Structure 1
Amino acid sequence: MKRVASAENLLLIDVPGHINDSEILSFLYTREVNWQHVNAIKTLTDFNDTIISDWLNVSVKTFREYKKPPTTFKENVKEQVLLLLALIKHGIAVFGSVKEFDQWLNRSNFYFDNKSPNAYLNTVTGLRFVDDRLTAMEYGDNV
């Protein structure tokens, strides 16, 4: 398992453990989503700036700017960052490690039209779909 710095562990504690509309909205309206959250995505996963910028629908240059304080994000980017962190937290809980979750995200899968789940992380609907598949796995579905 990739060793995660304590700052990311502390940050993840407050992030919802799965994608739930009321928890996500509450977080977005009561807490700040900032450069620390973007850095956490990079630190928690083995994905590079190009892949993560694709998930956020921004250029690599813009993504790298997001990692610098004190950047202010648009609301849709805040939501996407929070959803990604919630998905990562859920994936770690299901697979037991970041490495296993990353491998699953990169592997083509019948339930994702023979694409990798990673290909679905650039939209809110895709993030929800991947999160739903994780929940199905928790309850015994072979995903």
Structure 2
Amino acid sequence: MKASNRVDNTIIRDVPSHINDGEVLTFLYTKDINWQHVNAIKTLTNFNDEVISDWLNVSVKTFREYKKPQNVFRDNVKEQVLLLLSLIKHGLNVFGSARALDQWLNQPNFLFDNRSPNDYLNTVTGIKFVDDRLTAMEYGDNV
């Protein structure tokens, strides 16, 4: 197994598997969220830097800086990175593969006002809403 895959697996293992405010706050205050977490988003999905930078509301240049070890994040960026990783972990569990998750995230969906779930990932509330839809799918809703 490549070293980067081991790091990604360790990071994704530690991230909450569902977005829960208590778990997220505990993680934010007890763990360091850093460049490895940003790199994990990139390697666990098939999305490019442009899409992920849009999720984080930063330029592509800034996003690429986030992937460097010396970078220190503001608290709001840490939270958004953590929520995205938690959503990705949840989505991988629901769909079984990054490809299937990416496809669902990119498809227009009537429950998202005929927009793709991907369009909602640039806000904390949007990430939580998409995660709620994943939970609904786990319990039989046709999302």
Q: Give the TM-score range, shorter chain.
A: over 0.9
Please state if 1:16 is matched with 2:16: yes
Spell out the pairing of 1:112-131 with structure 2 (5 A cutoff). 112-131=112-131
CA distance in 2 between partners of 1:70 and 1:59 (Å): 18
CA distance in 2 between partners of 1:71 and 1:18 (Å): 27
CA distance in 2 between partners of 1:124 and 1:10 (Å): 24
The one-letter code of the counterpart of 2:94 is: V
> What's the CA shift for 1:70?
1.4
Identity in percent: 73
**Cross-structure match for 1:93:** 93
CA distance in 1 between partners of 2:30 and 2:83 (Å): 15
CA distance in 2 between partners of 1:10 and 1:74 (Å): 23
Length, aligned pairs only: 140
Provide the TM-score with structure 2 as the length reference. Answer: 0.96
Secondary structure of 2:27's aligned partner = helix
**Cross-structure match for 1:76:** 76
CA distance in 1 between partners of 2:23 and 2:81 (Å): 14
> What's the CA shift for 1:6?
1.9
- RMSD between superposed Cα atoms in Å: 0.8
**Cross-structure match for 1:134:** 134
Per-residue Cα deviation, 1:73-113 (whole angstroms, up to 9, x for no partner)? 01000000000000000000001111100100000000000
CA distance in 2 between partners of 1:128 and 1:10 (Å): 23
Gaps of 5+ in 1: none
**Cross-structure match for 2:43:** 43
Secondary structure of 1:80's aligned partner = helix
Q: After the TM superposition, which segments of 4 or more aligned residues of structure 1 sit over 4 Å from their partners?
A: none
> What's the CA shift for 1:7?
1.3
The one-letter code of the counterpart of 1:57 is: N
**Cross-structure match for 2:67:** 67
CA distance in 1 between partners of 2:101 and 2:18 (Å): 14
> What's the CA shift for 1:59?
0.7
> What's the CA shift for 1:53?
0.4
Provide the TM-score with structure 1 as the length reference. Answer: 0.96
Gaps of 5+ in 2: none
